A and B are shown apart, each in its own frame.
Chain A
Amino acid sequence: MKRLVQIGFVVLLALLWQLATLGHVSPLLLPPPAAVGREFLVLLQTANFWPDLRVTLFELIAAFLIAAFTGSAIGSAVSRSSYAVRVFDPLFAGMYSIPAILLFPLYVLFFGLGPGSKIAMGATIAFFPVVLNTITGLSQVDRAYVAAARSMGASPIQMFWSVMLPAAFPVILAGLRIGLISGFLAILGGETIASFSGLGHRIVNLAESMDTARMFANIVFVMLVAWVLNAAVSFAEARGRRGIA
């Protein structure tokens, strides 16, 4: 019954969409769903999304690597002393609450319209969840574990690899996941605002040339990419959590 209601709701939306395009809404603003489906198939068949997809994925990987390394390094350095945690944690949390997209005009000025400014934007946005979760994860390790390991004569390296990291790993992984997804969104945003390549730029181009059916097809494609990314990361997170714990 529940399924039926859900499917009914989706079908109703699609019907309304189709009806709206039959009426007075210009196809320039809202193309009929059938046209979008056709364009989507064309998009998949011709596979001409590769150059833009490659640019976006390259930017995402570069930004994520920067954020993951700096974030986890700074986070683990800070978490070594509880005083440093009390100093830096509110500082990073405060900076995190500023919409970082404001920096984008500055990044365009520094790094140009190419991938550089998007990598910087994505890295900035992804950095904060990584660093905050690293600090939280490492500073919340149960003191009993640490005391037990120390009394059994663990070296600092053993302490980190065998005690601190496994205990903090789920929290750090969650930070990395949030960082990757929000970095992806930031990169798409940057490409939408100012760029000459990438998936975001592709959608803008189609919108500005009033090719709405193709634009919708590309939006669906980006949704698909985001969905695959999300699924892959959730899978990796579940595996990583099981693997180390």
Chain B
Amino acid sequence: MSPTAARLAIIVAMLAAWEAGVRWFGNPLFVSPPSRVAVALLDLAGNRDVLAAVARTCLEISIAFALSTILGVGLGLLVGLHRFTRGAMYPVILLLYAVPQVTMLPLFVLVFGIGMVSKIAFGVSHGVFPILMTVAAGVQNIEPILVTSARAMGASRRQILLAVVFPHALSSFFTGMRLGMTAVLLGVLLAELYVSQAGVGYFTTMFTQTFQPQNLFALVAVLAAIAIMLNALCRWAELRFRANV
């Protein structure tokens, strides 16, 4: 059996064990077999409020990711390209990066409210650091001989940046985007679960408190699927653009 087939078989076996275990031993108030989750998935697909909540969370993730990329690349270039800004900012950035950001979550809600803005801001606070660090490292780790030879051939600073530094930093840029996406997902979902009035966090809390495990499992499955797709997309972009350079 090929490893992929074996993997699929394991997943199917786990689902079957879950189904059997829950049907025979589980309390339907707390757990739900996969078959009922699948039915609930169809139910949720027809529920306009839940669809709006999922769309809202996707929007939060996209905005947070876009902002993290812009900020992260901008600050990363600033830190990576200039010795002065690197000396001044890098230790401070490392310090901020080491802060356990979850502890700041109540603060974000206090400052940005319980709406979308606090989720986006918290997502950005997670996503910006990995992007910043990878971009800064990518810009710095260029082989000095490339820069030296470009300079020896009379390239201006601008030409060196555009023709040597940026093309070589491109793959680190995409690595940063992938790490940033993982972090943004974590930030946005954490903020959603903490407090939410119309996003997915509202529905996870509601389904938990009203003992509807089949709906809760289904919603978690949808979010996991979105996360897997976004991660796969970033990985694909990373591999593709790395191959091109």
List the interface of chain A (C-beta within 8 A of B): 1-2, 5-6, 8-10, 13, 28-29, 83, 86-88, 90-91, 94, 97-99, 101-106, 108-110, 184-185, 188-189, 192-193, 199-200, 203-204, 206-208, 210, 212, 215, 218-219, 222-223, 226-227, 230
In the assembled complex, the Cα of A192 lies from the Cα of B193 at a distance in Å of 10
A6 adjacent to B190 (CB under 8 Å): no
Q: Total A-B residue pairs with C-beta atoms closer than 8 Å?
A: 125
Q: Are B186 and A29 in contact (CB under 8 A)?
A: no
A109 to B31, CA, bound (A): 9
Interface string of B194-233 (1 = CB under 8 A from A): 1000000000110110010100110010011001100100
Output the least CB separation between B31 and chain A (Å): 8
Please tell me if the beta carbons of A109 and B100 are within 8 angstroms of each other in the complex: no
Task: Kindly provide the distance from the CB of B203 to the nearest chain A CB, expressed in whole angstroms.
Answer: 9
Determine which of A193, A199, A206, A210 lies in contact with B194 in the assembled complex, contact meaning CB atoms within 8 Å.
A193
Docked pose: A108 CA to B89 CA in angstroms:
40
Chain A residue contacts of B107, Cβ below 8 A: 207, 212, 215, 219
Q: Please give, as numbers and ranges, the residues of chain A lying within 8 Å of B89 by CB-CB distance.
A: 9
Question: Given A97-B227, A102-B189, A110-B30: A208 and B106 within 8 A (CB)?
Answer: yes
Residues A109 and B194 in contact, CB atoms below 8 Å apart: no
Task: Tell me whether B100 and A98 are in contact (CB under 8 A).
Answer: no
Enumerate chain B residues within 8 angstroms of A184, measured Cβ to Cβ: 100
Cα(A104)–Cα(B105), bound, Å: 16
Residue of A nearest to B99 (CB): A223
Please provide the 7 A-B residue pairs with the shortest distance between their CB atoms, ordered closest to farther: A207-B106, A86-B3, A105-B204, A189-B102, A2-B87, A5-B88, A87-B6
Contact of A6 with B103 in the complex, beta carbons under 8 Å: no
Q: With an 8 A cutoff between CB atoms, is B68 at the interface?
A: no
Whether B182 pairs with A106 at a CB distance below 8 angstroms is no
Query: In angstroms, how far is the closest chain B Cβ from the Cβ of A170?
Result: 22
- Add 17 more A-B contacts to A5-B87, A13-B92, A219-B99 (CB < 8 A): A5-B88, A8-B88, A88-B7, A97-B227, A99-B185, A101-B189, A105-B204, A105-B220, A106-B213, A106-B216, A109-B30, A184-B100, A193-B193, A203-B103, A203-B106, A207-B109, A212-B110
Known contacts A10-B92, A193-B190; A97/B231 CB under 8 A: yes
**Beta-carbon contact of A99 and B98 below 8 Å:** no
Q: Is A223 a contact of B100 with CB atoms below 8 Å?
A: yes
Cα-based distance from A212 to B109 in the complex (angstroms):
12
Chain B residues, CB < 8 A from A13: 92
